[in-house]
A and B are shown apart, each in its own frame.
Chain A
């Protein structure tokens, strides 16, 4: 159900590490479903740095707003600028076109969940 090559947080963000020490970050299919129609994603400036678990932005749906917390410490290399005009990509393709930031990892991935562990967490939350 959840891609096996990603790492997950208990707050429903995902992180996809690449071999060159960078990673993409977004929110999970479970998170976008809970939010409903996304209408705005507030993302940081390129170059900003955050610690693990620090708030790097917000995602707004018609119904509510949610903080975005960075799954691992890093520096923002790129933000997904297409979300400015197409925030619905977060709903339509949360693990793909709906990515939010690309970071250079400056810390480790301690405490992140693998796909089976995240799936177990989600299934516990929805029951």
Chain B
């Protein structure tokens, strides 16, 4: 077994007595001593601080940068203004996912692409492979970059005293460059929890100083360090896709309910022909949200959706929901069954357990 990769905060997690796990080759905290439920509730009601330094950053810069990113992603990159971000994807020709990502418009001819840790090498190779013929440079900045995510209703109040940059004017999915605790950061109003919050990008060597400053500012207000365990339950409640679960290289963007990131009228991009065809012939399956009806019936990732004992679909993500207090999940089911209020059955260790389809997202914060 090869050595696990470590973020710049590895020692900080260990000092906080985090429980560390192998997450896609990275040695990451799944939870701290407070536990997943307490960390989840802190993010929903106060604030939580996540290490997301394992995420990948790819910078594309030069006269051909815009054309390359337009070619590689389905969302309308030309619509992004300086300081704006959007959610998008890398797609294969057949419309399935290489990965999902965020695109930051750093300049007229410069973009920062933020990709999943586990796909980072694959994504960088994918961008490089298609960059020929475009007048731009492609740089993998992942090893040089740290990232932390401060999430929760108190995030702004905790962060503001640490920076001269006025935070309130930064809109959701917008960002700016500034200093936090005297350290240069990209300050981004984004997150993966369904709460207000900020993601801070900085030089790898500065990450621990930024982390410590935010922890010191937030702890008196109830901020908790938060691990990957609650990151998963938080994003599940908001129906945010996770690569390897709701999206992968066998599922196309429309099936995944991500038609809103696909701008078929923007011009050519990889995957467009397949998605045009898919739009004309609606897909056979759809991603739905469900709840099981009994407390004891807890569905888990990758379980089968069954009918008369035969598999007809699969659970992508499922868990007991700390916020909603019920057992939730997302599943691909045949389109004709994908109606709110309808019933499906899930094979939980050999028992066909009934579940009801319910509206998603399961949780939406009050603005």
Nearest A residue (CB) for B232: A63
B295 and chain A: residue at smallest CB distance? A40
Q: In the complex where A37-B36, A37-B37 touch, is A63 in contact with B296 (Cβ < 8 A)?
A: no
Judge if A44 is at the interface, Cβ distance under 8 Å: no
Q: Of all chain B residues, which has the CB nearest A62? A: B36
Q: Is the Cβ of B296 less than 8 Å from the Cβ of A39?
A: no
> A58–B298 Cα gap in the complex (Å)?
11
Mask for B19-60, Cβ within 8 A of A = 1, else 0? Answer: 100000000001100011100100000000000000000000
- Residues in B with CB closer than 8 Å to A91 are 35
By the criterion CB–CB under 8 Å, are B36 and A65 in contact? no
What bracket does the count of chain B residues touching chain A fall in? 10 to 19
Complex: how many Å from CA A3 to CA B21? 28
Contact B37 A62 (CB under 8 A): yes
* Interface residue? A36 (CB, 8 A): yes
Determine whether A60 belongs to the interface, using a CB cutoff of 8 Å to chain B: yes
Q: B227's closest neighbor in chain A, by CB?
A: A36
Decide if B233 is an interface residue (CB 8 Å cutoff): yes
- B300 touching A39 by the CB < 8 A rule? no
Collect the chain A residues with CB atoms within 8 Å of residue B30's CB. Answer: 36, 63
Q: Does A42 contact B (CB under 8 A)?
A: yes
- Chain A residue contacts of B233, Cβ below 8 A: 62
Which listed residue (B31, B35, B40, B320) contacts A40, Cβ 8 A? Answer: B320
Assembled-state Cα–Cα distance A58/B300 (Å)? 14
Interface string of A21-60 (1 = CB under 8 A from B): 0000000000001001101101000000000000000101
Question: Which residue on chain B has the smallest CB distance to residue A64?
Answer: B300
Among A33, A36, A37, A60, contact of B298 (Cβ-Cβ < 8 Å): A60
Interface centre among A37, A61, A91 (most CB of B within 10 A): A37
What is the bound-complex CA distance between A60 and B319, given in angstroms?
Answer: 10
Least CB distance from A80 to B in Å reads 15
Q: How far is the CA of A87 from the CA of B300 in the complex (A)?
A: 19
Q: Is the CB of A62 within 8 A of B229?
A: yes
User: A37–B296 contact, CB under 8 A?
Assistant: no
Nearest 4 CB-CB pairs, A to B? A37-B37, A62-B36, A39-B320, A37-B35
